[in-house]
Amino acid sequence: MMRALGLMSGTSVDGIDVALIETDGESVTAHGPSTTLAYDQPVRNLIRDAFGADAPNAATRAAEQAVTERHVEAVQRWSNENGIALSSLDVVGFHGQTITHRPERHFTWQIGDGAALASALGVKVVNDLRIADVEAGGQGAPLVPVYHAALAHDLPKPLAVVNIGGVANVTWIGETGDLLAFDTGPGNGPIDDWCMRRAGARFDTDGALAASGKVDRGRLERFSEHRFFARKPPKSLDRGDFNDEWAEGLSVADGAATLTQGTARAIALAARWFPAPVKQWVISGGGARNPTLLKAIAGETRGKVVTAAELGWDGDALEAQAFAFLAVRSLRGLPLTFPGTTGVGRPLTGGRLNQP
């Protein structure tokens, strides 16, 4: 068993989640403390300025330096808050910050300097966990399904675990442990963008704005015809593939309501690809804190919807925990991705080891 610290900064660009687990990369024996360091607005702006880049430039270099520095700060704060020496860690799993994801071009880019992080922390760091899969023809996403399977080992199956960040993704886990995973469509990204542009807020707190509006059913049905939903998995998305423009012209509240329902509809449409119906939908990520979105998902799926927290999982730390788990699997040469999760031709390990 190893003590592994996981770091996750998602496409919502909210901040950095830090979480500790003890694992051998196959099972998890303990979950340790977690914390979140929010990005300040200047850092968010730097990251957003780098979105879509396919080669290093001044914007990507500035964003990478800021991202790396904030990750060092986040880990040091976690260490101080919990009285845990960094020297007691075996490895850090560093996702980095995705700025561009184009698997059809065999290209994905998560900025963040793994070598600099390892040097600053004095701990081994595993990063670039998506690249090997994408270079081998996989989607490079989602990466978390193998961790979902470990968490759900004793739960009734088939089961669907949905993570809602800027983009939403689902893991279907069959009765015998078979995995199918893919991005379902937009997550919080378009809702956040709408709130930022139209309401002067970073996100829709508790889904209150959406709850006060009315869903435009005509727009929702047209949204449901998007070609992405008809594509058979494996499939993945860039943060910018879905935006808030299809709600343009609606009031602030109605736009938020319609975009929220769109995210729920996209999740429900994913079920058409499941090999068998699920007994329940487990929702994690930022979207699990939005009761209006949860209600919409329950209505669209017509299924049992529970949050990760209701199962005793730490939904806020789950993805950070997953990257700790993946870092240990990388060290052991175990597969991170599978034909059913990313479409790669065979189970494949990955990651880049940076020594302190």
Q: Where are the domains of the chain?
A: 2-138+319-354, 145-311
Q: Kindly tell me the sign of the dihedral angle through the C-alpha atoms of 259, 197, 100, 319.
A: negative
Q: Does residue 201 have a pLDDT over 90?
A: yes
User: Mind listing the pLDDT tens digit for each residue in 150-184?
Assistant: 999 999 999 999 999 999 999 999 999 999 999 99
- Report residue 109's pLDDT band, with 50, 70 and 90 as the boundaries: very high
CATH no., domain 145-311: 3.30.420.40
Domains 2-138+319-354 and 145-311 share a fold: yes
Which amino acid is present at 48? R
Q: Does residue 11 have a pLDDT over 90?
A: no
- C-beta of residue 121 within 8 angstroms of C-beta of residue 356: yes
Tokens representing 61?
């270099």
Q: How many helices (H) and strands (E) does the chain have?
A: 13, 12
The per-residue pLDDT for 249 is 97
Contacts of 45 (CB under 8 A, 6+ apart): none
Q: Does residue 133 have a pLDDT over 90?
A: yes
* pTM tops 0.75: yes
The per-residue pLDDT for 120 is 98
- C-beta of residue 348 within 8 angstroms of C-beta of residue 133: yes
**Backbone torsions φ then ψ of 22, nearest 5 degrees:** -115, 125
Taking residues 212-223, what's their average pLDDT?
98
The per-residue pLDDT for 239 is 83
**What is the Cα–Cα distance from 280 to 303, expressed in whole angstroms?**
6
Q: Does residue 238 have a pLDDT over 90?
A: no
Q: Does residue 315 have a pLDDT over 90?
A: no
- C-beta of residue 181 within 8 angstroms of C-beta of residue 340: yes
**What is the Cα–Cα distance from 102 to 308, expressed in whole angstroms?**
29
Q: Does residue 96 have a pLDDT over 90?
A: yes
Higher-pLDDT residue of 315 and 344 is 344
**Backbone torsions φ then ψ of 349, nearest 5 degrees:** -85, -175
- Report residue 149's pLDDT band, with 50, 70 and 90 as the boundaries: very high
Q: Under CATH, domain 2-138+319-354 is a member of which superfamily?
A: ATPase, nucleotide binding domain (3.30.420.40)
**What is the Cα–Cα distance from 341 to 141, expressed in whole angstroms?**
7
Taking residues 24-49, what's their average pLDDT?
96
Which amino acid is present at 320? A
Taking residues 240-257, what's their average pLDDT?
96
Taking residues 140-150, what's their average pLDDT?
94
Tokens representing 28?
């998890």
Report the length, in residues, of the chain: 356
**What is the Cα–Cα distance from 79 to 160, expressed in whole angstroms?**
34
Instruction: Work out the widest C-alpha separation in the chain, in whole angstroms.
Output: 57
Which amino acid is present at 315? G
The owner of tokens 């990005």 is 39
**What is the Cα–Cα distance from 168 to 239, expressed in whole angstroms?**
10
